[in-house]
Amino acid sequence: MTTLAVNTIGSTGDGGRLLVLLHGYGADEHDLAPIAPMIDPTGRFFAVAPRAPIDVFPYGAGWYERGPEREIASAPFQATVAALDATIDAVCMTHGLDRASSVIVGFSQGGAMALATSLRVGAPDRPAAVACLSGMINQVQGLEYAFDDYLPPVLVQHGTVDQVVAVERGREIRDALIVHGVEHHYREYPMGHEISPASLTDLRSWLSEV
């Protein structure tokens, strides 16, 4: 099974649990690394940041591409989900970590991948929690979300003036979680397509309670 390149950030403490940070489109595996010690100041987590599989011109990477009608091709998307699964399993095996106690955090496209990987039907060893920052829940042919199963709690954050991923996409996630009774926290901020000091503080607080 194909695995992804990984930036191993590590931990300042015992790092007994896995924290997976998934970057957005056009960024790379180093993009979210600086927030690891900010949201986990006591070093409870062993942090890693995989690189998305699609190279983006002129730099960075993406988790999936959209077609001319903004559609997402099913096979490449699910291949990326499978590669991300294999990568998380490989990290857990290498470092002796339990996937079921991990937390997956994704920004933008990375947020969509965090949701797809964690909440889909047939997902192996769902994480303890998942966070989607300025992201979306994608409807892709052949991908079903396991809303009838027990699902981990979800944190959703979105900017009200996000010019890249409209705040309505965050509200769609919130509404789906409400309809299906999934434990969640939803927060909006007066920010664009970014992680602000306020959203970072809330993310740190949420992670400390997971």
CB-side exposure of 138: number of CA atoms within 13 Å?
Answer: 29
Per-residue pLDDT 10s for the chain (210 aa) are 689 999 999 999 999 999 999 999 999 999 999 999 999 999 999 999 999 999 998 889 999 988 777 789 899 999 999 999 999 999 999 999 999 999 999 999 999 999 999 999 999 899 999 999 999 999 999 999 999 889 999 999 999 999 999 999 999 999 999 999 999 999 999 999 999 999 999 999 999 998
Q: Is position 102 within any domain?
A: yes
Q: Is position 67 within any domain?
A: yes
CATH value at residue 147: 3.40.50.1820
Q: Is position 119 within any domain?
A: yes
Q: Is position 196 within any domain?
A: yes
Q: Is position 48 within any domain?
A: yes
Q: Is position 75 within any domain?
A: yes
Domain count across the chain: 1
Residue range(s) defining the domain that contains residue 150: 6-209
Instruction: Write b or e for each residue in 50-60: b if 16 or more Cβ atoms lie within 10 A of its Cβ, otherwise e.
Output: bbbbeeeeeeb
Q: Is position 1 within any domain?
A: no
